[in-house]
Amino acid sequence: MSRTYQGSIISKSPITPAGPYQCGAASGVWTIDQMVGWQKAGLWPIAGNVQTGNLAIFALGSVSCTPSTTRNKYTYSGCVNASATSSSATSNAGSAAGNSVAGIFTLGNSTTTRNKYTYAGCVNASATAASCTRLFGAATGNSTVGIFALGGSSPYRDKYTYSGCVVTAATNSSPNSCRGAAAGNSTVGIFALGATSGTTPTNVRNKYTYASNVNCGATASDRGSRGGFATGNSTVGIFAIGQNGCFVRCCALNKYQYSNDTNTASGSLTAATIAGSAAGNACVGIFALGCISGVGPSTTRNKYTYASNVVTTAGSASALSAFGAAASNGTTGVNV
């Protein structure tokens, strides 16, 4: 076998492997020496090495008004939507958080069931259960822990440590929360509490510091918010308001700046909505709009670009859905 031509393919343009991730390719036939050389250069595809920040898993929740096991895989490059491995049981009004290896999904449905979705291989397995039955929770975290607000008009939260899949009590919210939303960076999580008493939307937020498990007040949203959803990068969290203080679904977005706890209005989604879900990477956030005003459950998704604060359309979900949850396989400065 000749070592003159890379991949043993005669061409004016030498072949370069598309590694180091397992989704890459090294076409042709290669010698061991060539493979080792490209491994040292970081360009040889490696099985099990999954690129971080390139996809999100969306649990659709209620599909056509019925709790479902359906999940979608959303690839940010190209805005491609595909099927993902289903949950072990039906999901509705759940929540999700995770790191670059796996997403932890609380299925909701007033159960304690959680699933662990490992991105490499798209494997779904059982995860350590929640400490009590709830629904309408919210979750965010960093590379080592996820903080799950259990919702159901309670102050209770779980801390899920990814290494060992250990669940312990986390510091309670103040006051109660239900139908809230959460986003954060590597040090803090910002929780919009939703309805703190009864069903009335509130603008109250909490800041949760992961290292010390300290919960304190955070800058309020610019209006009442219930049934919202959120994602962000290392510097900002983007919160979809959902239902405002007058019980009207709206399209408003708030931007929360972590460095100085500043909240500002930051554009709008393409439709007024409630009960959506969101996930993203360092550059963009993908918002599944959920129940659109005057339409109901939808397939519509929006893409929010952090650098320009611009909202555009994104790849649609595979089915009409609402009350879902989502997790990404890595956002630099958040869970990577």
Q: In 139-161, which positions are buried (b, 16+ CB within 10 angstroms) versus exposed (e)?
A: bbbbbebbbbbbbbbbbbbbbbe
Q: What is the mean pLDDT of residues 250-263?
A: 97
Instruction: Tell me the average pLDDT of the chain.
Output: 92
Q: What is the mean pLDDT of residues 24-49?
A: 78
Q: What is the mean pLDDT of residues 13-25?
A: 64
Contact between residue 154 and residue 161 where contact means Cβ atoms under 8 Å apart: no
**Cα distance between residue 26 and residue 21, in whole Å:** 11
The 3-state DSSP class for residue 106 equals strand
Residue 5 has pLDDT above 50, yes or no: no
At 48 the pLDDT is 62
Residue with tokens 């072990």: 88
302: its two tokens: 């929006």
Residue 9 has pLDDT above 90, yes or no: no
**Cα distance between residue 254 and residue 268, in whole Å:** 9
Preceding omega of 201 cis (within 30 degrees of 0)? no
**pLDDT tens-digit series, residues 77-111:** 999 999 999 999 999 999 999 999 999 999 999 99
Asked whether the whole model's pTM tops 0.85, one would answer: yes
Q: What percent of the chain lies above the pLDDT cut of 70?
A: 93
Q: What is the mean pLDDT of residues 242-266?
A: 96
Q: What is the mean pLDDT of residues 132-154?
A: 96
Q: What is the mean pLDDT of residues 7-17?
A: 56
Reference 331, options 190, 205, 142; nearest CA is 142
At 301 the pLDDT is 98
Q: What is the mean pLDDT of residues 2-21?
A: 55
**Cα distance between residue 100 and residue 118, in whole Å:** 9
Residue 303 has pLDDT above 50, yes or no: yes
At 27 the pLDDT is 78
Residue 202 has pLDDT above 90, yes or no: yes
**Cα distance between residue 237 and residue 185, in whole Å:** 8
Amino acid, single-letter form, for residue 141: G
**Cα distance between residue 272 and residue 253, in whole Å:** 11
Domain boundaries, the chain: 1-49, 55-328
Residue 281 has pLDDT above 80, yes or no: yes
* Rg, C-alpha atoms of the chain: 21
For the chain, give percent helix, strand, coil, nearest 5.
Answer: 5, 45, 50
At 34 the pLDDT is 83
At 118 the pLDDT is 97
Confidence of residue 17 (pLDDT cuts 50, 70, 90): confident
- Give every CB contact of residue 112 below 8 A, 6+ residues apart in sequence: 129, 130, 131, 132, 133
Confidence of residue 3 (pLDDT cuts 50, 70, 90): very low
Residue 119 has pLDDT above 70, yes or no: yes
**pLDDT tens-digit series, residues 181-199:** 999 999 999 999 999 988 9
At 16 the pLDDT is 76
Q: CB-hemisphere CA count at 13 Å for 66?
A: 5
297: its two tokens: 């459950």
- The helices-and-strands tally (H runs, E runs) of the chain is 1, 29
Higher-pLDDT residue of 4, 93: 93
CATH number of 55-328: 2.120.10.80
**Cα distance between residue 70 and residue 192, in whole Å:** 27
Residue 12 has pLDDT above 70, yes or no: no
Reference 232, options 203, 263, 270; nearest CA is 263
Confidence of residue 173 (pLDDT cuts 50, 70, 90): very high
**pLDDT tens-digit series, residues 64-74:** 999 999 999 99
Residue 161 has pLDDT above 70, yes or no: yes
**pLDDT tens-digit series, residues 260-280:** 999 999 999 999 999 999 999
Q: What percent of the chain lies above the pLDDT cut of 90?
A: 82
Strand partners, 176: none
Ranges 3-7, 12-16, 123-127, 222-226: which has the least confidence: 3-7
